[in-house]
Structure 1
C-alpha cells in the first residue's frame, strides 16, 4: 500500500455516504466498491469444508470438498488442519474470494444440533487448538478467516430469534474459549456474529460481546460481519461493534445514513467500522491487488496435491470403534460384498450453507472396485436412508412470468432437479411465478414415488394428471433453512416410455424466509419388501461384508436439528440380517454425530467414517485394506441412549430445544465427557476413544516442577512406544483435575494433547505444556480467571476413559487474572 493510499487517508477522503455504503454488502457475496477512490469489491465465500465461490448451494462451479468439521476434529492433528487451511486459501483465490466464512467454533452442547458436523468437538480446548491451526494456515496464504458463529449457536431450533441464556461461567469456560483462542493465538482477521440472541440481546448488536469482550478484553482489531440476514438494526448494531451487514444491498441498515447524519456517536461508529472494512482490504492484499471477483475456476487435475491431502485427511479422520479378533484390515485378495444405502453413494458432506458441488463424490463401492478386481466386489443397497426422495437426475426448462401474468418474461434451462433462486434472470422480480417442465424416461413399468418440497407454492402434474399438491395446503416445514415446506409425496403407476412432468411454482403470499425461492423434485421406484433379505443373501456369498450405513446431508444440515439418535429406515435391521449371514461383517458408519448401535454386539468391526470429503470411498478403502491407519479419535462422546445427553430430559423443555423464545443452558459447565463424569455414566464410546491397527504403551512420565509458582508454565514429558507390528498413530491426552477447588468444577478437563505417529518398535518423547489458564476456573463474582492454591492431578492416557498415568503438582499460591481491564 503506497504512502499516499493509507487507510486513514482513504477514510478522510470518503464521504459519510460512502463510509456507510461500505458497511453493507453489494450483493450476496461482495462488498461495495467505491470507484471514485479505486476501492475494489471484496468477495467472501462459504466454507468451512471447501470454497463454493459465488455460486448457488446446489449446482454451481465445481470445487474441492474437504472432510467436514467433526471429521477434522477426530484427527486431533493440528498440523493437518494448518495444511488444510493452506490449500483452502488457494481454492478461495481460484474463486476470486479473499475471505472464507470459516471455521465454525461452536461446541457440541447437544447431540441433536443439526450443524454439529460443521464444528470440531464438544471440548473447547480441542476446538480452539484445531481452529487456530486452520486460521493460521488460511491466513498465511493471504485469505482471511471468519470464525463463526459468535456465540451461543449450539442448536438450529428457532436460531434466528431464540435467546441462548448461558451462565457466565459456562460462557467463559466453554463457549467463548475457542473464539478467544482463534483471536489471541490464531490472529483471525474476521469474526461472524451468530443469529441468536445471547442472554436476551441479539449477538449482532451485543456491545458486551462485540466490543467489551472481543475488542477490549481480547484485543481483536479485525472485522465483524453479520451472519447472512442476521442483522436487525442500523445505528444500534454499528455502535455495538458490528462492522458489516451481509448480504447486500442494505436491509437492516437502510436507514443508517440518516441516523449517522443526525447523531455524532453513530457517525463515529460508522467511521470506525469503515476503517475495519478498509483494513481487511489491506490485510488480504485486495486494496492494491484486486482479485477477479467473478473468477470461478474449477481446477482439479492440476491440484493433485489437494486430492491427496483430502484422501489422507479423510483416512486419518476415520475412527476404529471396534475390531474384534483383528478382523481389520482385510486382505486385498478377499471377495467383498458392499451392502447398504451409503455403499454406492459418496456421502462426502453435510447440508445447508456448507454444501458445494464437489469435483467428485467417491463411494465406498467405487473405492473398493478401484483397489480390488471388479469381480471381487458385489453390491446391494438393502434399504434406503434418505430423508427425502432422491433429487430427480434431470433438469428443467423454465418459463418465468409475473404474478398473475400470462406473458413469458424469460426462459432458461436448469440442469438439476433442485433449484434455489438466489439469482433470477434479468428482469424477473423477486415475486414471480414459473412453469418447470421435464421428461421422465421410464425403463421399467411400475409404481413410482414423486415429491415436492419448496420455498413457495408448487403443484406437480404427470401427463396432465395432478400427483402432488403443495399449493393450497402449503405449510412451512424444515426445508430450506426452516423456511420451506416439508416434503409432500405422491405415487403414480408409470408404463415404459416417456412421461411429461409439469411443475407450477409461485412465490408464496406468506413470509417464507429472506425472500428465498426454491423447489425440489424428488423421484424414485420403491424397493421391494424383500430387499434386506436379498442383501443378506448376497453378503453370505462373500468373504467379508462391508455394510455402509448412516445418514446424509438431508439429515445433518443447517436450519433444522437432528431427528434423534436412531438410524433412519431399516438400517438397523439390515446390519442384523447381514451379520447373521456373514460373521465377517464390518460396519462403515457415516454420520455427522453419534447414533445408537443396537447391533454393536453382533458385529466384529465398526468404523466411524463421518463425511470425509470428495475422496471418501478411497479414504475408507485405504483404511479397510490397511493402506492407511484409522487415525481418528472421537471428538464427541457417543451416549448409550438419548437420555444420557446432558440437554435431554424426558420431555422437551426450556433446556432443549427451548420455550417462549429462550433456551437455558441449565447444564452449565457439564457437557460431553464432563457430564459423563458428573453422573457416572457409561457411554457407548467415550470422548477421545479410537483403536489402532497396532498397540501403544506409555512409558516414563516427568513433570518440570512439582511445586508450581503463579504464572509458571509446567512441561510434562511423556514417552510413548509403538509395541505392535506396524506403523500407527495415537493421541496422547492430558486432563487436569482440581483436587482442592473452592467452586464446583468438572472432574477433569482436557488441557493438552499430541498426535503421535510411530513405526513398529519406535518410541518418542512428547512434551505437553500446561499454563496457568489450564489450572483456572472463571470466578464470575470477581470477573477473573482464578487458579486456587493447592493440589492438582495431571491425568494422562489415550482417551477420557483410559487415563493410565497420574501425576500431582501443587500451586504454591493463588493465581488471578482479571478481565475487567484486560
Structure 2
C-alpha cells in the first residue's frame, strides 16, 4: 500500500456500485479506518486515491501537529463568528476556508463545531456558535454551504450531546427527549436538511448509556432515515469502540488509523452476512465522499510536505472584517470611539500577547498573530503609546519561541538514530524522523534561553509521556519518576510540573529528555512535551501599570484568558478572570477614568469592576488580525458588530446547570451527566428563574442608535401547514453608519406541555447609513410554532394564539404581534 495515491493521471469519477463490486471484502474493510492520522486508505489497483482531512473550524492546520507545522490563516473562533449573527458572512468564511483546505491537500474540513452551549463552563465554549439552536443552525448551514460549494466537505460535529469536556471519552449524556430534539439535535437537523453536509463526526461521549459511534437510533434512525442524510459518518479521533457493532449502527469511518477498534471487522464480516452488508454500505460512503470532493477526478498530493502556506491579502481582510463584526460592545458611556492622536496606555497581560485562538485541536500555526499593542501602534489614528503588563494570566508558563534541536535514540544512552529541529519548545510527535518508532523512542531536546537579569526563574514541564528538564546540566524539573495524569493534552498528559532556579543574566542551556509511557490513551502514537520558562513575577507590577495609565489620555486594559485556559479536553476554570486581572482592572480604572476594558475570553466571565468601567469591549479570540480589528473598533474605523450569542450570567449560581444538583447535573458523577434543566438553558433559564444576567443573550451596543417599529403580519391567522409572513421597519436614528440585529421570538400563550417563555425563531443583521430606513421581512413555518411531544413522538403546534416578540435582544423586545393557528398541526418522527 503506497502512502499517497497515484497522481500520474487524472481519473474520472467511477460508478460507485460497480467499484464496490470490484473490491474484495478485505479491501472494503480496509477503507473503514484511516491509513494514518489524517488520511484514508488508498487502493491503487482500482485507482482509489487517498482523501486527506484537516482540523478546523477556525483555520486549516493541515496534516502537521497542533503546534508548529505549515503556516495557515487563523480565522475568528466559533463564538466570535456566532456573535456576528451574520449568515452571509459565515458563507463567505466557509468559502475562504475551502481554498485554505485545498492549499493543504485536504478535501475534508473537520468543521463546524455546532454543539449548543449548555453551560458557561464548557471547555470548548469558544469553538461553538451559540446557546440557541436556531442561531447555531442557520450560521452552520451557511458555513457548510460556503465550504462545499467550493469542493471541500464539511464535517459538522460533535454528534451528539457533547456539551462539556469532563470525562468526555466515557461519560453518558442523559438528555430528556424534548431537550434532545428541541435543543441539541436541532442544529444538526437544520444543517443536514438545508445544507446536505458530506460528512458528520460523532461525539466521544455516550448518549443515554450507548457510545454515539455505536448508536443505531442516532446514526440510522434519526440521521439517515428521518433526516435523509446521505454523507459519511466518521468517529472523533480515538472515538470508535467496536468493529461490527459500529459498522452495523452506521459509523462509516474509524479515525485515526491504522485501525484499532476495527481490527476484528474482517473476521466478523466473513462470518456474518449482516455485518458484511453493513461493511459494503460503509465502504460506499467512503467512496462517495472521495467522489463528492472531486478526488477521483483530481487526486490531490496529500503529503504534509506538499502543503502550501500561501497568505492572501483578501483572506487577511476578511479575517479582520469578521473579527470586528463579532466584537460585542458590552458597555459604552460615550468614551468610544477614541479620539485620534491622543496618548494611550496599553495595559494588561493580553496587551502585547496576541490571543488569536483557543486550544486543543482548534489551534494552528497562524501566518501572523497581531497583538492589541501592535494593532494600536499600526493604526493611522495612533498617538503616543506606552505599555505595561501589570500581571500575569497564564495557566502554564510561557513556551520559549526558539529553535529546538532534537536527537532520537532507541533508549537512553544509545546511538543517535534520528535528528530534527522544531520552531518552539512545545513539541508534538504525530510523526517522527524516518527510522524512529513513534511508540518507543528517547528524545533529547536542546534549546537556549535568555535571562534578561540576574534573579529567580521558573521552569516547567507538561507531557503526554515521561519527561525531565535540566538547566545548564543541573536537574530542575522531574516529570519522569513521579509522572501522573493531569489536564493537559486532552487528558492524555500530565499536569504542569514546575521548578525554579537562580540564574545570572545571559544565555542558558535547557535540555529536556522525553520518552513515551505505557499510559493507554486511546490514540496510538500521541506524544507531546511542553517546556515553560519565565522570570519570577514582580509583586509590584499592578501598581506600576496603574501609575503608567494615570499619565495617559486613555487607558486600554487588555485582560482575559488564552488557549491554555480555553481548550479541548478540560472544562473552564470558573467565571472569575484568572490571576490578579480583576485587581489590575480596578487599579487602572481608579488611576484613569478614561479606561476601556478589552476582554478576550472564549465565554462569559464575571466583571466585579463593571460599574466603574466607562467602556467594555468583548473581543473574543478573533483570529490572526486580532490587534488590527481591536484598533479598528476602538478608533471607530469599524463598527462593533457583535451581539452576544451566549448569556453572560451575573454569577455561576445563575448558570442553568448549577442550581439543582451540582454533581450529577454538572459536571457529572458515576459516569453520567444528567441534563436536568431540560429545555431551560441560556435566556430560557433566565426567563423561567427570573434572574438578571450580567448581559442578556442578543445584547450588544453600536456606535449609533436604531429604532424598530411598524410590525405587520401579512395575515393574522394561519392554517396548519401555512407559513406566516411579517415585516418590521428599522431606522438608523444616529449620526453614523452602523448595524443591528433584529430578533424575533415566539411565545406560545397556552400549551399542553411546559414551554420556554420565548424562543428565538428568526433574526436579520441589518446595516444602515445614518437616517436610513429598511424593511425586514420574516417567514415562520409550522416548526417555528411547534414543540416536541415525546409521548407522541411528534412535533406539535397547537391551535391557539402565539405572540411574536420583536426587538434587538432577548431583554429588549418592545414590539408584539399576535398570530392565531386555526387548528392543530403535527409532524411524526421515528
Same fold by TM (over 0.5)?
yes
The answer on 1:393 being equivalent to 2:401 is: yes
Match for 2:825 among 798, 815, 818? 815
Change (3 A) 1:460 1:404: closer
Residue 420 of structure 1 corresponds to 428
How far 1:415 moved relative to its partner?
2.3
How far 1:4 moved relative to its partner?
8.9
Provide the rounded CA distance (Å) in 1 between the counterparts of 2:296 and 2:426. 37
Provide the rounded CA distance (Å) in 2 between the counterparts of 1:64 and 1:744. 46
Task: Please give the secondary structure, in 2, of the residue aligned with 1:575.
Answer: helix
Residue 713 of structure 1 corresponds to 723
The answer on 1:118 being equivalent to 2:127 is: yes
Provide the rounded CA distance (Å) in 2 between the counterparts of 1:360 and 1:447. 32
The answer on 1:561 being equivalent to 2:541 is: no
Counterpart contact for 1:401–1:410, Cα < 8 Å: yes
Q: Counterparts in 2 of 1:529-678, with a 5 A limit?
A: 529-649=539-659, 652-678=662-688
Match for 2:221 among 207, 212, 216? 212
Task: Please give the secondary structure, in 1, of the residue aligned with 2:117.
Answer: coil
Task: Please give the secondary structure, in 2, of the residue aligned with 1:653.
Answer: coil
The answer on 1:336 being equivalent to 2:344 is: yes
Counterpart contact for 2:462–2:529, Cα < 8 Å: yes
Match for 2:266 among 245, 257, 262? 257
Change (3 A) 1:731 1:4: closer
Provide the rounded CA distance (Å) in 2 between the counterparts of 1:373 and 1:236. 62
Match for 2:792 among 754, 757, 782? 782
The answer on 1:692 being equivalent to 2:711 is: no
The answer on 1:524 being equivalent to 2:537 is: no
Provide the rounded CA distance (Å) in 2 between the counterparts of 1:102 and 1:690. 27
Q: Counterparts in 2 of 1:140-179, with a 5 A limit?
A: 140-179=149-188
Stretch deviating more after TM superposition (651-660 or 565-574): 651-660
Provide the rounded CA distance (Å) in 2 between the counterparts of 1:7 and 1:510. 41
Change (3 A) 1:484 1:513: farther
Task: Please give the secondary structure, in 2, of the residue aligned with 1:185.
Answer: helix
How far 1:650 moved relative to its partner?
8.1
Counterpart contact for 1:637–1:672, Cα < 8 Å: yes
Provide the rounded CA distance (Å) in 1 between the counterparts of 2:12 and 2:762. 45
Provide the rounded CA distance (Å) in 2 between the counterparts of 1:411 and 1:82. 44
**Aligned positions, number:** 818
How far 1:58 moved relative to its partner?
0.1
Residue 362 of structure 2 corresponds to 354
Task: Please give the secondary structure, in 2, of the residue aligned with 1:62.
Answer: coil
How far 1:359 moved relative to its partner?
0.3
Task: Please give the secondary structure, in 1, of the residue aligned with 2:156.
Answer: strand
Provide the rounded CA distance (Å) in 2 between the counterparts of 1:806 and 1:227. 44
Match for 2:770 among 753, 760, 774? 760
Counterpart contact for 1:455–1:512, Cα < 8 Å: no
Counterpart contact for 2:542–2:584, Cα < 8 Å: yes
Match for 2:493 among 476, 480, 484? 484
Residue 3 of structure 2 corresponds to none
How far 1:5 moved relative to its partner?
2.6
Stretch deviating more after TM superposition (450-459 or 4-13): 4-13
Match for 1:737 among 741, 747, 763? 747
Q: Counterparts in 2 of 1:354-503, with a 5 A limit?
A: 354-372=362-380, 376-403=384-411, 406-429=414-437, 430-503=439-512
Provide the rounded CA distance (Å) in 1 between the counterparts of 2:766 and 2:269. 56
Task: Please give the secondary structure, in 2, of the residue aligned with 1:60.
Answer: coil
Counterpart contact for 1:193–1:203, Cα < 8 Å: yes
Provide the rounded CA distance (Å) in 2 between the counterparts of 1:645 and 1:511. 35
How far 1:475 moved relative to its partner?
1.1
Q: What is the TM-score when the length of structure 2 is the normalising length?
A: 0.97
Change (3 A) 1:385 1:2: closer
Provide the rounded CA distance (Å) in 1 between the counterparts of 2:380 and 2:11. 59
Match for 2:353 among 324, 345, 356? 345
Counterpart contact for 2:68–2:422, Cα < 8 Å: no
Q: What is the TM-score when the length of structure 1 is the normalising length?
A: 0.98
Deviations 1:697-726 (A, max 9, x none): 012110111111000111110100000000
Provide the rounded CA distance (Å) in 1 between the counterparts of 2:324 and 2:509. 44
Counterpart contact for 1:700–1:718, Cα < 8 Å: yes
Task: Please give the secondary structure, in 2, of the residue aligned with 1:572.
Answer: helix
Provide the rounded CA distance (Å) in 1 between the counterparts of 2:189 and 2:579. 41
How far 1:427 moved relative to its partner?
2.0
Provide the rounded CA distance (Å) in 1 between the counterparts of 2:215 and 2:82. 29
Provide the rounded CA distance (Å) in 1 between the counterparts of 2:206 and 2:106. 29
Counterpart contact for 1:737–1:749, Cα < 8 Å: yes
Task: Please give the secondary structure, in 1, of the residue aligned with 2:158.
Answer: strand
Provide the rounded CA distance (Å) in 1 between the counterparts of 2:281 and 2:533. 53
Provide the rounded CA distance (Å) in 2 between the counterparts of 1:403 and 1:362. 42
Task: Please give the secondary structure, in 1, of the residue aligned with 2:157.
Answer: strand
Deviations 1:359-399 (A, max 9, x none): 00001111110014776111111111010000022232222
Provide the rounded CA distance (Å) in 1 between the counterparts of 2:227 and 2:446. 56
Task: Please give the secondary structure, in 1, of the residue aligned with 2:195.
Answer: coil
Deviations 1:639-676 (A, max 9, x none): 00000001113874110100111000010000000000
Residue 109 of structure 1 corresponds to 118
Residue 99 of structure 1 corresponds to 108
Task: Please give the secondary structure, in 1, of the residue aligned with 2:83.
Answer: helix
Counterpart contact for 2:342–2:383, Cα < 8 Å: no
Provide the rounded CA distance (Å) in 1 between the counterparts of 2:652 and 2:711. 38
Counterpart contact for 2:237–2:255, Cα < 8 Å: yes
The answer on 1:276 being equivalent to 2:285 is: yes
Change (3 A) 1:10 1:509: closer
How far 1:332 moved relative to its partner?
1.3
Task: Please give the secondary structure, in 1, of the residue aligned with 2:568.
Answer: coil
How far 1:299 moved relative to its partner?
4.1
Task: Please give the secondary structure, in 2, of the residue aligned with 1:358.
Answer: coil
Counterpart contact for 2:800–2:821, Cα < 8 Å: yes
How far 1:464 moved relative to its partner?
2.4
How far 1:412 moved relative to its partner?
2.1
Structure 2: unaligned runs, 5 residues or longer: 1-9
Match for 1:18 among 27, 49, 52? 27
How far 1:561 moved relative to its partner?
0.2
Provide the rounded CA distance (Å) in 2 between the counterparts of 1:443 and 1:762. 57
Provide the rounded CA distance (Å) in 2 between the counterparts of 1:25 and 1:360. 32
How far 1:513 moved relative to its partner?
5.1
Deviations 1:605-628 (A, max 9, x none): 000000011000010000000001
Counterpart contact for 1:633–1:689, Cα < 8 Å: yes
What is the RMSD computed on CA atoms of the aligned residues? 1.3
Residue 231 of structure 1 corresponds to 240
How far 1:225 moved relative to its partner?
0.4
Deviations 1:23-80 (A, max 9, x none): 1101111100010000100011000000001111000000000000000000000000
Provide the rounded CA distance (Å) in 1 between the counterparts of 2:230 and 2:443. 47
The answer on 1:243 being equivalent to 2:252 is: yes
Counterpart contact for 1:115–1:155, Cα < 8 Å: yes
Residue 322 of structure 2 corresponds to 313
Q: Counterparts in 2 of 1:67-78, with a 5 A limit?
A: 67-78=76-87
Deviations 1:150-187 (A, max 9, x none): 00000000000000000100000000000001100011
Task: Please give the secondary structure, in 1, of the residue aligned with 2:597.
Answer: strand
Provide the rounded CA distance (Å) in 2 between the counterparts of 1:682 and 1:159. 31
Provide the rounded CA distance (Å) in 2 between the counterparts of 1:397 and 1:81. 41
Counterpart contact for 2:340–2:381, Cα < 8 Å: no
